[in-house]
Amino acid sequence: MNKIIRIDLSNYKNENAKFIVGRENGDKARKKEKLDDLIIKYQNGEINKIKFYTSTQIYGVVSSFILGLLSEIITKINNKEQVYKIFDFSELPKELQQQFDEEIDYILGV
């Protein structure tokens, strides 16, 4: 089975905004997308990957959003290699991929 869950981060920007912001917004996105349940499904072999993407009109994702979205999950995983086995950021623009990578390092204390 090759089941990939795709999550559009554009859904979490404010109207007319070019950046996705806010820790509370990230937490809301985690809950709305049921990321915690998706991690369990990944661990049970029901899905293979969680892939993030966004529209080209998004210029950036602020660290507070990423922390709200992924901090609790990454803290539990506690392994960067495993994080990248579960989450795929390859459809995001390079700048956004770098922002996620830096925040993952920050969460893991790397």
| pTM (2 d.p.) | 0.92
54: amino acid identity, one letter: T
Q: Where are the domains of the chain?
A: 4-108
More confident: 91 or 58? 91
**CA–CA dist 10, 98 (Å, integer):** 17
* pLDDT tens-place string over residues 16-72: 889 999 999 999 999 999 999 999 999 999 999 999 999 888 888 999 999 999 999
